[in-house]
């Protein structure tokens, strides 16, 4: 078992500048599209983390030559994807949901498995869709097997993607390689994290794929080649939010460099949330700067589009001077952990007042005390504990190493920002 990590206490308002690694979402989409092009490509500024490394390993298992040098990833020219292969999904949603639609294009058996918690995450929507499109799939959750036949008829499929936008993105990324292309229709409660689907569509179009998303809840991908693209990955804006939150929680000032002027990343929405909580936010050529208020305000905010920000927002809400209601995030019960139950448990254990609602959380002001914050093998739960620990003495996180999922250097970056050394 890892040793608990003592969350650094901010002795003064946090002041500093930081640079975060590349976007996991963009990196893993770029790698899938690069592999499907079959031609040489280079992805620069790529994230190097467990999730990205698992994607690289999955592509190699399917016969794609991949070279990694620092944050540059090169995929070489190759023929058809091939099995037999074994894919370790770890706890990476992008691997478990993006790679199976590729695997149906391979010749041979492809076995998928992952971490114990990954076996509990919903997969039936993607696997059922692949069966409806003509693929042979055994199982409805990890572990499962795809019997690749070198292709799949494709066509139209209706799914309920209310549990995850990754169901839609995973199908769309490979859809152009299906014989008849692919039409995905969503039927159910609103799809969460729609900006991630917008990201997928934008990247497909950059790769020369014709995508029609003019009809609500319907995406049509025309069959055709996927062009090789040399991708340049933006900084991961969702991973940047804990550092901006450090300014908001302590009345300090933090700049994250390289923040894009325009982006499809959901993390960009954090700017508006910070302003609702009383912080000042300024975007310049040098990056995004957040200046914390004297007192944080509670918020009533719908996070359906940006559910991944919930642990960061919840940590700030626990430090605010008025109640907060976080809505539209019932789907977080099926993430790396049940994030709603986990946040309630950890805030309550430190003396906070938090409760689940049908679709979210209510967090009310209460004095917090030190104690052990459990990460649940969830990188965003771990960083939420670090935020609370900035202003509450004696907070420790049981497994800060879980941040390696998307940000391997988080502890050193956090300590450096606080001036505590690396």
Nearest alpha carbon to residue 101 among 174, 177, 37, 168: 174
Q: By the 8 A CB rule, do 151 and 181 touch?
A: no
Distance CA 51, CA 65 (A): 18
- CA 305 vs CA 164, 211, 330, 372, 381: distances in Å: 11, 21, 12, 30, 19
Active site residue 336: no
Whether 121 has a binding-site annotation, put simply, is yes
DSSP structural state of residue 403: G
Nearest alpha carbon to residue 320 among 388, 253, 375: 388
Q: Which residues contact 371 (CB under 8 A, 6 or more apart)?
A: 349, 350, 394, 395, 396
Whether 380 has a binding-site annotation, put simply, is yes
Q: By the 8 A CB rule, do 322 and 297 touch?
A: yes
Is beta strand 155-159 parallel, antiparallel or unpaired with respect to 182-186?
Answer: parallel
Whether 180 has a binding-site annotation, put simply, is no
Nearest alpha carbon to residue 152 among 109, 181, 186: 181
Whether 169 has a binding-site annotation, put simply, is no
Whether 335 has a binding-site annotation, put simply, is yes
Whether 134 has a binding-site annotation, put simply, is no
Distance CA 121, CA 334 (A): 6
Whether 162 has a binding-site annotation, put simply, is no
Integer-rounded Cα Rg, in Å, for the chain is 21
Catalytic residue selected from 308, 346, 355, 356: 308
Q: Phi first, then psi: what are they for 133, rounded to 5°?
A: -90, 0
Whether 25 has a binding-site annotation, put simply, is yes
Q: Which residue has the tokens 């804990």?
A: 242
Whether 29 has a binding-site annotation, put simply, is yes
Whether 174 has a binding-site annotation, put simply, is no
3-state DSSP call for residue 108? Answer: strand
DSSP element (H, E) containing 184: strand 182-186
Whether 165 has a binding-site annotation, put simply, is yes
Catalytic residue set: 308
Binding-site residues from annotation: 24-25, 29, 93, 121, 164-166, 193, 308, 335, 339, 380, 405
Residues making up the annotated binding site for 3-phosphoshikimate are 24-25, 29, 164-166, 193, 308, 335
Indicate the annotated binding residues for phosphoenolpyruvate. Answer: 24, 93, 121, 166, 339, 380, 405
């Amino acid at each position: 078992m890892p040793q608990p990590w003592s969350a650094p206490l901010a002795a003064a308002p946090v002041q500093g500048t930081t640079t975060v690694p590349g976007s996991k979402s963009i990196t893993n989409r770029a790698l899938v599209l690069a592999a499907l092009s079959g031609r040489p490509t280079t992805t620069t500024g790529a994230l190097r983390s467990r999730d990205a490394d698992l994607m690289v390993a999955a592509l190699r298992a399917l016969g794609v030559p991949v070279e990694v040098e620092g944050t540059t990833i090169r995929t070489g020219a190759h023929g058809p994807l091939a099995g037999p292969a074994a894919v370790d999904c770890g706890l990476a949603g992008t691997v478990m949901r993006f790679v199976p639609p590729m695997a149906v294009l391979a010749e041979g058996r492809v076995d998928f498995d992952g971490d114990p918690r990954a076996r509990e995450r919903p997969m039936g929507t993607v696997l059922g869709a692949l069966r409806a499109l003509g693929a042979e799939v055994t199982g409805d959750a990890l572990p499962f097997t795809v019997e690749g036949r070198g292709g799949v008829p494709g066509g139209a499929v209706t799914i309920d993607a209310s549990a995850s936008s990754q169901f839609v993105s995973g199908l769309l990324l490979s859809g152009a390689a299906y014989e008849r292309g692919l039409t995905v229709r969503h039927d159910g409660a609103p799809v969460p994290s729609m900006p991630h689907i917008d990201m997928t569509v934008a990247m497909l179009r950059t790769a020369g794929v014709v995508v029609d998303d003019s009809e609500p809840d319907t995406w049509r991908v025309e069959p055709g080649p996927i062009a090789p693209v040399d991708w340049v990955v933006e900084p991961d804006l969702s991973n940047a939010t804990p550092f901006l939150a450090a300014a908001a929680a302590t009345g300090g000032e933090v700049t994250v460099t390289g923040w894009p002027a325009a982006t499809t990343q959901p993390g960009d929405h954090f700017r508006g949330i910070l302003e609702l909580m009383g912080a000042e936010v300024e975007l310049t050529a040098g990056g995004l700067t957040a200046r914390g208020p004297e007192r944080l305000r509670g918020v009533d905010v719908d996070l359906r589009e940006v559910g991944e920000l919930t642990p960061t927002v919840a940590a700030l809400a626990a430090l605010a001077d008025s109640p907060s209601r976080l809505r539209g995030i019932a789907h977080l019960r099926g993430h790396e952990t049940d994030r709603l139950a986990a946040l309630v448990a950890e805030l309550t254990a430190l003396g906070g007042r938090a409760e689940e609602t049908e679709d979210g959380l209510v967090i009310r002001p209460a004095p917090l005390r030190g104690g052990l914050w459990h990460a649940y093998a969830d990188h965003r739960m771990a960083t939420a504990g670090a935020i609370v620990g900035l202003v509450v003495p004696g907070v420790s996180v049981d497994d800060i190493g879980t941040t390696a999922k998307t940000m391997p250097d988080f502890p050193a970056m956090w300590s450096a920002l606080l001036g505590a050394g690396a």
